[in-house]
Structure 1
């Protein structure tokens, strides 16, 4: 057999899985399509930086404030206490992760996955070579499918993998005005909850140092993504900034019920559906997904037990199921109308909401240290949803 594991997809999830497996001495092939950059705000929390040893050179901006903007233009600034949100440029960040995997011993291949075949010699990943156009194959014992939200590996190999719900995200990377403007702050992330930008998700303006990511997402196929983004650029006084590149792609909304095929394939990252509801945050969860997929693959290689492939989903859900459940409930409650969005931004005025939200974001855990604060938030949340508190009250 040529490889222990073939990883299909070289984004943060696949590159992390390849790196971890190669570092532990496994023979790894990393297959990736060159030239694809996923639309992404690029935000990463301190826990990701620490857990995955990300050097400061990859951080293009350090955000200290998040601004929530309601449909009526109400602005709530939330300071990020005792830390920052790191920003990365996916064009450089993803390649950094792929190079790191190669430095650890993974062998890189550039091409497009077409299918998986099996015979007495093993499992074969068939792909079309980017340079020559020839059909080639990589032989292995385990395949990790990390090829995005509309994963072809998931579609071919895992039950339910062809039916994952998603939003379509679109953004434009622009040259940021030096020093900012009256509407754009290079140290602040803006999140816009407005049905005119997105009827069921949100828009964002995220600084990337010398550039900025401006984008939005929606499940509504009738939404004009480019017009909505143009409107968002105008709102942020960035309409006249030079556009560097434009990108669009699906973002999954729900983890799949199963991540493996009960034989030789396990999914990771967007292919498994691990993007946080409500926030749409994906980089951290993608990298965790890659790490647990690598753990499951290594366990299966060592034990020979097929059931060990299920470790990936079990390990991920053990730590993150609660956060996903809360964020999903929040999205269902507040994203359905502009009236609800107005109430959500109003709720963000509460200091306990601000502190607990960012403590959870920074550490990727539900905060349990202040039960009275949780009760207070629960009562206020109910009052906002039922209209007992006016959305216009501060």
Structure 2
């Protein structure tokens, strides 16, 4: 059988692309390394839940407050008004998405991608079958590479695809305690402390009866397991049972090119679509899968190679400005503990709180209150220039 599209990678991005393409009537194969669970805080915005029809059964917790913690231990509790931050467990959420793609008509294959063979009339995706261990082939017209950061498809097919910068993230899923002095099952804690991560942050995210505790860093000398143990000790979570430990790269910026000018388009982490500063990736991965599906479907219909560029263009048209703002914030505030202290101070501002979570829930910059933006800009400049103490808000 020859497929219209083979999707390599069955995470949120690949599963979304496979479902969309199958529902449009195309023949689709979804190839995934079965059994792998990506380390992830699991936060998802209400817009994602609505846009991608995620049932409430997949939301294991609804967060009402975000706590920002500074290097000196000061904290700011930010209430999430008129909404919530949803939490999913990737072990079950990703499989839900893959099953939904299969129910839409995609054929599922379990195995590990090895290469693309172009010796015949059509490209063939070659993979090692998980059950038999034998080399197997899927003939296809088009390929979507959704196989994560440090994507092998990107490395093989897309110029610059092997040069994506990334943070190594690590977390431990633990049995969550009942509410304690330091832990709240409806509050996310974000820890900005160079002792935990010198260039990113640590987190404690409730998942119902479980919690994700982790951190990330680009600094190779950082021992992620030691840093996470310190984070657990500070939060009083050392004695909680550890269910599993996971680590993986998280890309830091979108690639300059998402297609090979022929028959391959990248999606999700493979294309680098993780939000700077926050590291948020699930929503953007699913959007990336959707625009990749749009580009591939257009190319199959028209035969025009330039239609493959639609994936990157559509994504950046809607989310490029948000990524630029978040990238500038990360560059400004994550470079030292003194800057991180100032960032947490800035979070005391009510306008900052409201605009931040309105933007998070709706996935676009809020432009309705120009005076609030002007005020925030002035405070931001004052902190970055050192005109005010980091202990002031």
For Structure 1 versus Structure 2, the TM-score category normalised by the shorter chain is: over 0.9
State the alpha-carbon separation in 1 of the partners of residues 101 and 58 from structure 2.
Answer: 16
State the alpha-carbon separation in 2 of the partners of residues 291 and 74 from structure 1.
Answer: 41
State the alpha-carbon separation in 2 of the partners of residues 145 and 359 from structure 1.
Answer: 32
Look up the match of 1:174: 174
Of stretches 336-345 and 231-240 in structure 1, the one that deviates more from structure 2 is 231-240
SS in 1 for 2:38: coil
Look up the match of 2:241: 242
State the alpha-carbon separation in 2 of the partners of residues 45 and 101 from structure 1.
Answer: 21
Query: What is the Cα deviation at residue 26 of structure 1?
Result: 0.6
SS in 1 for 2:232: helix
SS in 2 for 1:4: strand
Look up the match of 1:390: 389
Query: What is the Cα deviation at residue 121 of structure 1?
Result: 2.7
Query: What is the Cα deviation at residue 119 of structure 1?
Result: 3.8
Look up the match of 1:318: 317
Query: What is the Cα deviation at residue 41 of structure 1?
Result: 0.3
Look up the match of 1:208: 207
State the alpha-carbon separation in 2 of the partners of residues 169 and 119 from structure 1.
Answer: 38
State the alpha-carbon separation in 2 of the partners of residues 242 and 261 from structure 1.
Answer: 46
Query: What per-residue deviation string (whole Å, max 9, x for no partner) do you get for residues 123-159 of structure 1?
Result: 1100000000100110111000000001000000000
Look up the match of 1:5: 5
Query: What per-residue deviation string (whole Å, max 9, x for no partner) do you get for residues 186-241 of structure 1?
Result: 00000000000000000000000000000000000000100000011111111100
State the alpha-carbon separation in 1 of the partners of residues 280 and 373 from structure 2.
Answer: 23
Q: How many residues align?
A: 393
Q: Does 1:31 align with 2:31?
A: yes
Please show how residues 363-378 of structure 1 align to structure 2 within 5 Å: 363-378=362-377
RMSD over equivalenced CA pairs, Å: 0.6
TM-score by length of 1: 0.99
SS in 2 for 1:240: coil
Please show how residues 127-146 of structure 1 align to structure 2 within 5 Å: 127-146=127-146
State the alpha-carbon separation in 1 of the partners of residues 371 and 282 from structure 2.
Answer: 32
Q: Does 1:342 align with 2:341?
A: yes
State the alpha-carbon separation in 1 of the partners of residues 390 and 74 from structure 2.
Answer: 10
Look up the match of 2:91: 91
TM-score by length of 2: 0.99
Query: What per-residue deviation string (whole Å, max 9, x for no partner) do you get for residues 333-366 of structure 1?
Result: 0000000000000000000000000010000001
State the alpha-carbon separation in 1 of the partners of residues 150 and 38 from structure 2.
Answer: 13
Query: What is the Cα deviation at residue 120 of structure 1?
Result: 4.3
Gaps of 5+ in 2: none
Gaps of 5+ in 1: none
Query: What is the Cα deviation at residue 389 of structure 1?
Result: 1.3
State the alpha-carbon separation in 2 of the partners of residues 223 and 139 from structure 1.
Answer: 43
Query: What per-residue deviation string (whole Å, max 9, x for no partner) do you get for residues 140-191 of structure 1?
Result: 110000000010000000000000000000000000013x211000000000
SS in 1 for 2:2: coil
SS in 2 for 1:244: strand
Look up the match of 1:284: 283
